[in-house]
Chain A
Amino acid sequence: MRFFEDMRVGDRAEIGRHTFTLEEIKTFAQRFDPQPFHLDETAAAQSLFGALCASGWHTACMWMRLAVEHRRREDDERRARGEPVAALGVSPGFRDLRWLSPVFPGDTVTYATEIVELRPSASRPEWGIMTSRNTGTNQHGEPVLSFISSAFVERHAER
C-alpha cells in the first residue's frame, strides 16, 4: 500500500479475476443467502434472474478477497525494492452497491478499483480517507457489480 500522500484521484488498478463454479455458488448461498434462485435450478428458471445465479454478497466478497491479495502483492514488491509500506486501516463502510447483471455458474468476473476521492481524516491526523469506486465485469464485458467504498490509509509521518 502506498502512503496517502502518494495516491492520486483517478489511480486505477485491475485487482484480479475469479471464475464462479456452481459448487461454490451453492455452498455460499446455503450458508449465507439461502434463496431458491441461488440454490435450485428449477426455481431459479422461474425467478427474475432466469437461471441459477450467485448471491450478490458472494460476488462482492470476492472483490474484497482479490483486493487484499492485490495489496499483498503490491506490498511485497515495495519491500523487495526497499520501500516503506503504508498501513491500511479499517473501512467505515460502503454505499451505492449495484448488482448490475446476474453472475451465472462458469462466469469469470474481472475486478477493478479506482480512487475517486482523497481527504485527510478530521479526527485521526495520522490517517487519510481513501474513497474508491470498485467494479466487477464479466467475460462478455458486461458490468455485474459496482460500489463506492472508503478506507483509512496511513499518512507519512510529520517531516
Chain B
Amino acid sequence: MPQRHWEDFSPGSVSEFGPRLVTRDEVVEFAATFDPQPMHLDEAAARASMLGSLAASGWHSCCLLMRMISDGFLGQSHFLGAPGVDEVRWLRPLRAGESVIVRSTVLETRASRSRPQIGFVKFLFELIDSSGAVLMTLTVSPMFARREAASASQDGMSG
C-alpha cells in the first residue's frame, strides 16, 4: 500500500482505531514510572480521590493514543513529527480494565510557508470508552511530507 502524503488528508474525514484493552497492570506500571500519585497506583487511594476508582494517568492516555494512531495510520504515512499539541482535555477517568478506541477527525490542512516540502494536518483525536463516552480530546497539527514537493525534488535530481 502506498504511504500517505499530506495531500491524502481531507478536512472532515473521520477514522476509528482500536479497540485497545487497558489493563490494571499497565495502568499501575505506567504510573509507577511517570506519574506516581497514589490515585493511579492504589485502589483505596483512588476511591478516596476525585477519580473514585483506579484510573490511568492522563499522560498514559496521551501515550496510548499516540501508539494507537501510530499503528492506525502514522506508520503508513510520511509522518515527520509534530511541533507540539494545541490542547488536551481530560474529561473522564480512564478506568483500569476499560477498552478504548480513538476517533480521528481531520479539522484542516495547510501547507508550510517556510518549508515547501511539508504540510500540517490539524486533527481532533477523541479517546472513547466502550460505553461511547469521550474520555479525552487531543488537538494537534502533525507534519507530513508533500507528494508534489517530493516529485519536484526528484525532477530536480534527474535534471
Nearest CB on B from A108, distance (A): 18
Bound-state CA distance A64–B59 (Å) is 8
When the two chains form the complex, which single residue of A35, A60, A152 contacts B59, counting CB atoms closer than 8 Å?
Answer: A60
Chain B interface size, as a band, is 35 or more
Bound-state CA distance A95–B63 (Å) is 16
Bound-state CA distance A26–B50 (Å) is 34
Known: A93-B58, A152-B50. A61 touches B83 (CB 8 A): no
Contacts of A147 in B (CB 8 A): 84-85
Nearest CB on A from B37, distance (A): 6
Contacts of B79 in A (CB 8 A): 35
Nearest CB on A from B46, distance (A): 11
The answer, yes or no, to whether A42 is at the interface (CB within 8 Å) is: no
Stretch at the interface among A3-11, A77-85, A96-104: A96-104
Chain B interface, >50% SS class:
mixed
Q: How many residues of A contact B (CB 8 A)?
A: 33
Residue-by-residue, is A45-64 near B (CB-CB < 8 Å gives 1, otherwise 0)? 00111000001110011101
Nearest CB on B from A98, distance (A): 4
- Is the beta-carbon distance between B81 and A91 smaller than 8 angstroms? no
Bound-state CA distance A79–B87 (Å) is 36
Bound-state CA distance A57–B62 (Å) is 8
Give the residues from 60 to 79 in chain B that come closer than 8 angstroms, CB to CB, to chain A.
Answer: 62-64, 66-67, 70, 74-75, 79
Q: Can you name 16 A-B pairs with beta carbons within 8 Å?
A: A33-B66, A35-B81, A48-B81, A48-B118, A48-B143, A56-B81, A56-B82, A61-B63, A64-B34, A64-B35, A69-B36, A88-B37, A89-B49, A92-B89, A98-B84, A99-B83
**Contacts from B to A (Cβ < 8 Å):** 33-37, 39, 49-51, 57-59, 62-64, 66-67, 70, 74-75, 79-90, 93, 118, 143
